[in-house]
Homo-oligomer: A and B are copies of this chain.
Amino acid sequence: MFTSIKRFLIGRPLKSTELGEQKLNKTKALAILSSDALSSVAYGPEQILIVLITVGAAAFWYSIPIAVGVLILLLALVLSYRQIIFAYPHGGGAYVVSKENLGIYPGLIAGGSLLVDYILTVAVSVSAGTDAITSAFPSMHPYNVIIAIVFILFITTLNLRGVTESASVLAYPVYLFIFALFILIGVGVYNILTGQIPPDLHTPVGTPVAGISLFLLLKAFSSGSSALTGVEAISNAIPNFKDSAPHNAAKTLIAMGSLLAVLFSGIVFLAYYYGVSPREEVTVVSQIAEQTFGRHFMYFFIQGTTALILILAANTGYSAFPLLAVNLARDRFIPRMFTVRGDRLGYSNGIIILGFLSILLIIAFEGRTEHLIPLYAVGVFIPFTLSQSGMVVKWVREKPKGWLPKLIINSIGALISLTVSMMFFLTKFSQVWPVLVFLPLIIYLFHRIKKHYVAVGNQLSLSTCEPAVQIEGNIIILPVAGITHVVENSLNYAKSLSAHQIIAVYVPFEREDEAIFEAKWNKWQPEVRLVTLHSPYRSIINPLSKFIDTVQRKAGEANFQVTVVIPQFIPKKGWHNILHNQSSLLIRAHLLYRRNVIVTTVPYHLKE
């Protein structure tokens, strides 16, 4: 049942050798890895205007220089990450770069913040997309959280089916969105050039504005640069590309950067020229679309594809999170299960946990995750800064051919990223302070996990641990609950093991019962020693454990091993289990976890 539902949802299992077919070509990779970055166009320009409106609409012209700043930052990031791709072709992005060049803790800071960031990406973008849909159909508004969860489950399932399949599905909406925005920008610019838009809707660039301050401009810039989150995703996901992966990844990165630059500057320019002012209920893109096309087909087309890409931006998280987790798990900072490939060769544990955690976030914030945006932006710029600095260190240390221009590019990238990170802390401290709490926590956790794995490794390795004790003989303890076929079966098995001694143990709750059972036993199996342990408190485990301890102490002196043979009958149907006090399960768990005893379970399958 479970298997066939699973088959239906995620498809037949794939052989490990089919991994190559699960790789992405550039078109598909662009679709699934850039949805996060491109979707930021839907809210990035608006974030700038929201800051500027606090001093008045006259300040809107500042969005043009700010956008230029964002574009420069984008250029620096794309060039820097292009270098990272070639330098670290196995992916891992900021985590690997920082770890190798700056040391383990900077690496963990980068890895930890990205890990949390991808969860935020999924939660924030799915809630934003759901909001976009429910503002179109207000009657669905009360079901926001449920709709968002359904979307996450859908994207999770799609990703469990494998990277190529999700790419095939997701490519359409991404390219439709790009197409829609290109038409919007094209028609908008054409209208302006042909003079159909009155030029007095905006204040000219350079108009002096009362009340403007450097602090405000920095705040607007850092808000605008939240549109650059997602740029690093490609560098994490290089192993998903077709060969030669680094070249394909680099080309995809350049394509994404160019698209992002065109769309971002186009929207900012149109918003400025149209004199669009940010409004609570209607997004800036929606206002531009309405002014350009009216409430016609193209308007709804743009709205629809925007909502879709906001939801699909989550998919970038799904592509990058599992691969980053693999890198962290290989270094033993997070549980090993993240390195296991699932039926469809994706790292399914990472995918499932990402889905689970983002659903938790959405439930915890009741779908209103907007104020997590600054948190998630700062969580990206910290690893940006660390990875660029790592590259700077690398170039200085290794000095390969033509290292100077590379050094300059990464230095500029590092400097701007650092500045943006600082600006977030300076201008939006009230929203980004949780980073200062959870980053140390996560790194402490990483540290504890690593310590445990190292300790386990030492204890298991044949070279470092104490030598195994030789076993000279066996003593078998057989707890019996009655004189039944199950007991006979287990006793036969115990006898076949040529043990040194077999002790049957019976735990009666009443004194009368004790004598009756002893008599019966001695008639049935006179040659097997029976020990009865009267239990006035009606516990089976306590007297049994004490008895085993005693036997074990004596056995240990002679290098004898104690084995407890537990008869367990297994009903034909699962629900029958509640009809039997499965004390054998309890006894087994207790003995294994609390005492150092070998436990043998002899199953007895019921036929009816």
Contacts and interface: CB of A to CB of B under 8 A. Distances in A.
Contact of A510 (B16, B337, B468, B483): B16
A492 B471 contact: yes
A598 interface: yes
B471 A493 contact: yes
Task: Please report whether the interface of chain A is mostly helix, strand, loop or mixed according to DSSP.
Answer: mixed
A570 B460 CA distance: 12
Residues of A in contact with B, size category: 35 or more
A598 to B, nearest CB: 5
Nearest to A588: B601
A547 B598 CA distance: 24
Given A492-B470, A592-B568, A606-B459, A452 B484 contact: no
A356 to B, nearest CB: 13
In the complex, the count of this chain's copies comes to 2
B474 A459 contact: no
A221 to B, nearest CB: 42
A488 B459 contact: no
A536 B17 CA distance: 7
Given A335-B579, A461-B484, A561-B493, A596 B592 contact: no
A462 B485 contact: yes
Interface string A475-508: 0000000111110110011011110000000000
A203 interface: no
Contacts of A606: 455-456, 459
Contacts of A13: 537, 539
Interface in A202-245: none
B600 A336 contact: no
A112 to B, nearest CB: 17
A538 interface: yes
A118 to B, nearest CB: 20
Contacts of A462: 483-485, 488
A498 B568 CA distance: 24
A340 B576 CA distance: 18
Given A335-B579, A468-B492, A474-B496, A16 B459 contact: no
B608 A603 contact: no
Given A485-B462, A488-B462, A497-B497, A603 B607 contact: no
B459 A473 contact: no
A489 to B, nearest CB: 5
Contacts of A599: 600-601, 603
B579 A336 contact: yes
A510 B537 CA distance: 54
Interface string A586-608: 00100011001111111111111
A569 to B, nearest CB: 7
17 contacts: A15-B537, A17-B536, A343-B538, A455-B606, A460-B484, A461-B485, A468-B488, A471-B493, A474-B497, A588-B601, A592-B601, A596-B605, A598-B600, A598-B601, A598-B603, A599-B601, A600-B601
Given A16-B509, A459-B607, 18 more contacts: A15-B536, A17-B536, A452-B579, A455-B606, A460-B484, A462-B483, A468-B489, A468-B492, A470-B492, A471-B492, A471-B493, A493-B561, A493-B598, A498-B498, A588-B601, A593-B603, A596-B605, A601-B601
